[in-house]
Chains A and B, each alone.
Chain A
Amino acid sequence: MIKIMLVCNAGMSTSMLMNKMVEAAKQQDIDAEIWAIPDAKLNEEWKKADVILLGPQVSYLKSRVETITAGSVPVEAIPMLDYGRMNGPGVLAMAIKMKK
């Protein structure tokens, strides 16, 4: 089981990527819980996550997330093209790699 949290400004476009990732996880038989939040919810939600992925438009939040989590949860910005082209399998693979 891997718990992936996606973060963006309003939680809108990441929720689309989330759908693509859930789809990809289903196809590959990966047990994953994936959800998207607006950055305002970071404080409340980060504890539930194994991996935090930031939309490229909020990549500047990385240092803040690292401070909040004290480095306990891996965090990375999603590459722009993968994000824009909604590359669900690619981002899922990235998240799984980050957990290890």
Chain B
Amino acid sequence: MKLLDQAVNVAQRIGGQVHLRSLRDAFATLMPFFVLAGLMVLLNNTLIKPEGILSGFISNATLTHWQQVGNSIVNGSLNFISVLIAGAIAYHLCQNKGYADPIAPVLLSIATVVIFMPESIHLTDVLTQKSVTVTGGISFASTGSAGMFVGILTGLVVTSLFIRLANAKRLQVNISGGAIPPAVVRSFNTLIPIMLTMIVFALFSFAVQSLSGMDVNTLIATLIQQPLKSVTTSLPGFLLITTVANLFFSVGIHQGVISGALLDPFLLNNMQENTLAFAQHQDIPNIICMAFKDTFGVMGGSGNTIALLIAIYLFSRKADYRDIAKLSTAPCLFNISEPIIFGLPIVFNPVLIIPFVLAPVISLTTAYYATAWGWINHVTVQIPWTTPPIISGFLATGGDWRASVLQALLIAITVCFYLPFLKFAERVAMAQAASSQG
């Protein structure tokens, strides 16, 4: 099993790589924020929308007033993501590197995000509609999704530097003595590392601004974030990464290792842009985003396994296949597919691996073009990945029933796609059973 060893090796490297791990862990921590923001935008654009369902009973002014709640939540989550992610990454990086006291690096990372922000910002005056340049302010343009990559890099780099400095014995202020409380000793120990880290990044920020004329935020967004994003979330790049991830799953390694590290930052970035555009009634910029993948490529779990489940219910005559289908039904409705992946198994099953890897490619490509051609609304709302299919399509597209129909259609298509492979896998399994008995 040379190939397997290699796959495990790669997964071990990626899954164990401390910065990528911390990135995944930070996203996991922040997911509730994304989901809540999505739900609030959904609510603001459906139920309490002026001229919406409730407008018969409640005045438009009141409805607009109520939207404040949702808007403030969006401001505190999506529009503040670069700050939140910097702190979350610093925390998890400390955890993963075994640094016991994360508070200083968390605060430092947040401070550095602000250090990197432009000194003056361009705003539009509401009354005159004229563009004005002001100082003394921070804009959502730098704390929001455009600054997300800065937040990620800041959290990683600042924390790494800080931990290194904090572990250097020479930089510790020695005030040891029996009567001094340990907390005081600790705060003195981190005094110099904290100040040094701040100064280093402030000087770096100053140097970048002086040399390039651009603030670090804008520089990283245009030079790194945008190019990487357009590679990973173009249709071919996206399909390639999801396919590789599912290939990993077909040898028993969770696909989240690959897609979590390579894809999620950009999918989430696209997701935020979509959600904000939806909230502001603008054109939706991206087709491929986080909830797009979950809604059309992970129906019933990795590999669109709900289709396989249905195929087994409808056409399988093999008793243990039907048993495992029964066992897997409840989790599968919530997109948890491990029971069927390991129980059937799909893993190491050369026949079933083919539709397992290709079914998501079919459904994602179809959904991509259905969106591009305007047959369904763009995916704009981040929903929990455990939201059952059919419902997930409706919610993720901001309440478009056509997306649910498309999901049903895609499930039907992939049932047909799974079917010949299922039949063949059954024949192989039965032949194997017969030969081992005889």
Contacts and interface: CB of A to CB of B under 8 A. Distances in A.
Interface of A: 8-10, 12-13, 16, 38-40, 43-44, 55-61, 63-64, 80-81, 83-86
Contact of B252 (A13, A56, A64): A56
Contacts, number: 88
B28 interface: yes
Given A13-B339, A55-B338, A83-B343, 6 more contacts: A44-B95, A57-B254, A57-B342, A59-B253, A80-B252, A83-B339
A40 B339 contact: no
A84 B28 contact: no
A86 B15 contact: no
A57 B302 CA distance: 12
Given A57-B253, A60-B253, A84-B338, A40 B345 contact: no
A13 B331 contact: yes
B386 A12 contact: yes
Interface pairs A-B: 4 shortest CB-CB: A84-B343, A84-B342, A13-B338, A57-B254
Given A84-B324, A85-B327, A12 B336 contact: yes
Interface string B314-347: 0000000000100100010010101111111101
B96 interface: yes
Given A12-B336, A84-B339, A60 B331 contact: no
Contacts of B344: 84
Nearest to B26: A40
Interface string B221-262: 000000000000000000000000000010011101100000
A60 B12 contact: yes
Contacts of B345: 80-81, 84
A56 B12 CA distance: 13
Given A57-B252, A58-B254, A84-B344, A64 B16 contact: yes
Contacts of A44: 95
A86 to B, nearest CB: 6
Interface string B345-356: 101000000000
A48 to B, nearest CB: 16
A86 B323 CA distance: 12
Nearest to B94: A43
B293 interface: no
Contacts of A56: 252, 342, 347
A55 B98 CA distance: 24
Contacts of B19: none
Nearest to B386: A12
A8 B339 CA distance: 13
Interface in B361-408: 386
A9 B254 contact: yes
Contacts of B341: 57, 84
A10 B29 CA distance: 12
B8 A60 contact: yes
Contact of A60 (B15, B98, B342, B343): B15
Nearest to A87: B343
B96 A43 contact: yes
B111 interface: no
Interface string B293-312: 00000000000000000000
A60 B253 CA distance: 7
Nearest to B96: A43
Interface centre among A38, A63, A86 (most CB of B within 10 A): A86
A45 to B, nearest CB: 11
Interface in B1-44: 8, 11-12, 15-16, 24-25, 28-29
B8 A8 contact: no
Given A84-B341, A86-B339, A16 B95 contact: no
A9 B334 CA distance: 15
A67 to B, nearest CB: 9
B342 A40 contact: no
A61 B342 contact: no
Contacts of B254: 8-9, 55, 57-58
A84 B12 CA distance: 22
18 contacts: A10-B256, A12-B336, A13-B331, A16-B331, A39-B15, A57-B342, A58-B254, A60-B12, A61-B16, A63-B16, A64-B15, A81-B342, A81-B343, A84-B324, A84-B344, A85-B324, A85-B339, A85-B343
A63 to B, nearest CB: 7
